[in-house]
Chains A and B, each alone.
Chain A
């Protein structure tokens, strides 16, 4: 580990380094995406307080479970299709 003389002052670090940390391990509930109920509205992507909904070419993909905290906001906001949610929360480890 580095001593105080070797560290950049003010704890200024490289940009985006939080990406390397597995903060998904804090999760107690795990969102599951049910693709057939998804209308690709991207509400989940907008509402996610982390950046745990991956989006490519304007379409949502899998959750980024390395960073998803399992807060459940996406599941609440998801309109789904014909009353059927496209995101459900499930207890971790079950």
Chain B
């Protein structure tokens, strides 16, 4: 068994990185992910890891250096937040298009303007279509476990895609909670050696990365990326199964909480799921059939499995901690797609909550469940998309 320690989410991530011991790490500090790299830099300075730490002048350069190092044949990691991810955006597509399994921690934070350093999901959701695998984490334990599994998922021969592990800025990154670490050698054995596919440092077998590909072949390469994403779903489950053997902790594509006989369902990512689960328990005690689904894998999105898990629900309330101005929130769109392609047609409402770190309190979850219940009883929906916890 590993050690149980009280740590911040960032500390958990830095510890996972120490245990993973990547070949190269290029990063630029940004709140709230700064502590990850600050702690990791001290591991480098103190000789606790063999990593080449590249201190760059921006996140665009950080991701560029990660791409170069990964193409060279190294196991590569980084961490960022918010504007940092936004600045990487161009390079995110290049990492995935070149099929380089870079693994990044994204400590979720709102995007400016107005400037705000607190947690919401607009950064990660903004990178939804960049071709990166996305694993989301409720707490420090999940973030740590996800990061270790992400290495195996990203580097799997059927996948070879970059992956990001998301956790809520401040709420998780800076709060101290107790969690269980795996022993160093268990992590080392679990992730194994990285086997690069076409390392540029293999000078006897020179290759070109990043050639010009015109309309005659471009779509074929995009189709390959889609295929890799489809396969990633199975790989996520395989890796989770192996992870359970070494850790005793079990992971799926999502967490279904008291969902089996639920008429009302909440869908929510990350830390707010913890708050919602408590409130679900209270309502269950009062006989309300309510359950919760917390997606873990957001890209690729497991449409079929999610739809099956939600197929008994008559009214679904989706919580989105990111806005798509003038549209439904990103999570709502996924759940709507899942239900539609499964042929089920529940009533679904979308609530935008927690932007810029606005506290999500138990009463907000209660307010949502009350509204879902009212829809179930009356069949009437006031607004399909609305805000939760905003002052009028």
Residues of A within 8 A of B (CB): 1-4, 7-18
Contacts and interface: CB of A to CB of B under 8 A. Distances in A.
Q: Is the interface of B mostly helix, strand, loop or mixed?
A: loop
Contact of B206 (A8, A10, A15): A15
Nearest to B160: A9
Contacts of A18: 208, 211
A14 B221 contact: no
A85 to B, nearest CB: 33
A10 to B, nearest CB: 3
Given A10-B97, A10-B160, A12-B198, A3 B220 contact: yes
Given A1-B217, A10-B209, A18-B208, 17 more contacts: A2-B220, A4-B219, A4-B223, A7-B224, A8-B198, A9-B99, A9-B160, A9-B228, A10-B197, A11-B98, A11-B213, A12-B98, A12-B197, A12-B198, A12-B209, A13-B208, A18-B211
B308 interface: no
Contacts of B220: 2-4, 7
Contacts of A3: 220
Contacts of A13: 207-208, 211
A13 B224 CA distance: 15
B100 interface: yes
Given A10-B97, A10-B98, A10-B160, A4 B207 contact: no
B223 A12 contact: no
A2 B217 CA distance: 8
Contact of B208 (A2, A4, A9, A12): A12
A28 to B, nearest CB: 21
27 contacts: A1-B217, A2-B217, A4-B219, A4-B220, A4-B221, A4-B224, A4-B227, A7-B220, A9-B160, A9-B228, A10-B97, A10-B160, A10-B197, A10-B198, A10-B209, A11-B210, A11-B213, A12-B98, A12-B99, A12-B207, A12-B209, A13-B207, A13-B208, A13-B211, A14-B206, A16-B206, A18-B208
A10 B208 contact: no
Contacts of A9: 99, 160, 197, 221, 224, 228
A11 B206 contact: no
A1 B221 CA distance: 13
A1 to B, nearest CB: 7
A11 B160 contact: no
Contacts of A12: 98-99, 197-198, 207-209
A89 to B, nearest CB: 26
Most B CB contacts (10 A, CB to CB) among A2, A4, A9, A18 go to: A9
B100 A7 contact: no
A4 B219 CA distance: 8
B208 to A, nearest CB: 5
B216 interface: yes
B68 to A, nearest CB: 14
Nearest to B205: A15
Scoring A2, A3, A7 by chain B CB atoms within 10 A of each residue's CB, the highest score goes to A7
Interface in B90-128: 97-100
Contacts of B207: 12-15
A94 to B, nearest CB: 30
Contacts of B100: 10
Contacts of B98: 10-12
Contacts of B97: 10-11
Contacts of B223: 4
B97 to A, nearest CB: 7
A13 B198 CA distance: 10
Contacts of A11: 97-98, 210-211, 213, 217, 221
